Structure 1
Amino acid sequence: MQPSENRDTKWKGSRDAWLDAAFELLLESGVDSVRILPLARRLNVSRTSFYWFFRDREALLYALIERWREKNTQGLVRQTDAYAEDIVEAVLNVFDCWLDSGLFDAQLEFAMRSWGLQSEEVSREIDTADEARIEALARMFERHGYESLEASVRARTIYLTQIGYISMNTRETLEVRMRRIPYYAEIFTGQAPQTRQLRRFHARHGYEPDADGREGKSLRG
């Protein structure tokens, strides 16, 4: 890349940078704060550079919805389709979403649901997403031998529990969450997770329990 191209990119920012900044404002102050001039100031770029990437503010807001849809809805659906030897492992795959923001961004979910309280259009998007996510979870249970109604109820129980966590902005340490995971898995599936399944789950999230299994530490950072 030539120096002039570097300068041009810095001046305009990038589409992802504008979206990241818009998400930050959405989370901090709500959708009314997501406007072009405050975003440009936050990014330290020219206001006119916004129009390299978006037609108008409405296009930016739509792009935020698209990002949420791809990140959270598709992220969750992909986890329900991940390989699992049994239903407990399948549910632990879903639990990955609650611990890895690369799979499912809880802050983005909270921001979108707050936005939905002000916008019928966004509220409808959320309803559609909820339906798709619950259906994906129910199909997961059905693939592992649960009949349709039971699969639907278990799917709703998992999903509504987690959305409750997000909507209440619940905070837990990794240690507390990990101690609770086996009990949630058993409640949601009717089957207790095996030690080897928990070990794989812990390893995916950089967690090492103490010898008694009740306490633990993060291996990250």
Structure 2
Amino acid sequence: MVMVQRRARAPREDGAKRRLSARDWADAALTVIGEGGLAAVAVEPLATRLGATKGSFYWHFPHREALIEAALARWEEISTEAIITELEHEPDPERRLRRLFAEATAAAADDPLEVSLLATAAHPQVPAALGRVSERRIGYLAQLFTELGFPPDDARRRGLLAYTAYLGHTQLVHAVPRTLPADAERPGYLDSVIATLLRRD
């Protein structure tokens, strides 16, 4: 849920072509997906953006669809697996949950990538990645609620509710941000969300 910053590398100032990795291309593709959806992933504009040639692209990928696949795998890695790994350094599950919500909602406001990917869910390559990421995130949230003492079925329901709250927040922050609390009120709002999720009837 928390996004790692991706930056498309700028051309070298001396004008020389820099050797790009497949990861460079995937990161650049993610950036343009966030800016303009999957339709924005085109080889020539990406090459220009990276200060590279089309030959660099074809060295790493046979076609555009392979780049999209690599970008989706990269999104999976940096926005889910890397975040879960980082959170595991915190031993307290409630602190992990609070940190996850605070950082994820802040990142959602800065990066439209999630919204762009959800908007392109009908694209043949996107549903599988969305499915894997959603299941992993919900599973991790359910794990946190299990560690907090909730029975497995209840923990799973709470994990799903937490994830839908995150997705709803992400959609609103880009579509109608005025519906959400102001920055100064955000910590209290997030505390109330967590309190609702942790409520024991």
Q: TM-score, normalised by structure 1?
A: 0.69
| Structure-to-structure mapping, 1:5-84, within 5 angstroms | 10-12=16-18, 14-15=20-21, 16-78=23-85, 81-84=88-91
**CA RMSD in angstroms, aligned pairs only:** 3.1
The one of 92, 108, 116 equivalent to 2:113 is: 108
For the structure 1 residues 121 and 96, does the alpha-carbon distance in structure 2 shift closer, same or farther, using more than 3 Å as the test? same
Structure 1 or 2, whichever has the larger Rg, is 1
Shift of 1:38: 1.6
2:153 is the alignment partner of 1:146? no
User: In structure 1, what is the equivalent of residue 135 of structure 2?
Assistant: 131
Shift of 1:45: 2.7
2:69 is the alignment partner of 1:98? no
For the structure 1 residues 137 and 107, does the alpha-carbon distance in structure 2 shift closer, same or farther, using more than 3 Å as the test? same
For the structure 1 residues 81 and 7, does the alpha-carbon distance in structure 2 shift closer, same or farther, using more than 3 Å as the test? closer
Structure 2: gaps of 5 or more residues = 1-11
Shift of 1:21: 2.9
Shift of 1:93: 2.7
SS at match of 2:103: helix
SS at match of 1:11: coil
Shift of 1:106: 4.8
Quick check: 1:88–1:189 contact (8 Å CA) kept in 2?
Answer: no
Provide the C-alpha distance between the structure 2 equivalents of 1:155 and 1:163, rounded to a whole number of angstroms.
Answer: 12
User: In structure 2, what is the equivalent of residue 185 of structure 1?
Assistant: 194
SS at match of 2:52: coil
Quick check: 2:76–2:133 contact (8 Å CA) kept in 1?
Answer: yes
For the structure 1 residues 72 and 149, does the alpha-carbon distance in structure 2 shift closer, same or farther, using more than 3 Å as the test? same
Quick check: 1:110–1:166 contact (8 Å CA) kept in 2?
Answer: yes
Shift of 1:76: 4.5
- 1:70-110, CA deviations, whole angstroms, 9 ceiling, x for partnerless residues? 0122145336644343x532321322431564x9x853222
User: In structure 2, what is the equivalent of residue 201 of structure 1?
Assistant: none
Provide the C-alpha distance between the structure 2 equivalents of 1:59 and 1:132, rounded to a whole number of angstroms.
Answer: 23
Runs of 4+ displaced beyond 3 Å: 6-10, 75-82, 170-174
Structure 1: gaps of 5 or more residues = 1-5, 192-221
For the structure 1 residues 8 and 18, does the alpha-carbon distance in structure 2 shift closer, same or farther, using more than 3 Å as the test? farther
Q: TM-score, normalised by structure 2?
A: 0.75
| Structure-to-structure mapping, 1:203-218, within 5 angstroms | none
User: In structure 2, what is the equivalent of residue 166 of structure 1?
Assistant: 170
Higher RCO (CA-CA < 8 Å; seq separation 6+): 2
- 1:42-82, CA deviations, whole angstroms, 9 ceiling, x for partnerless residues? 23332222223333322211110111100122145336644
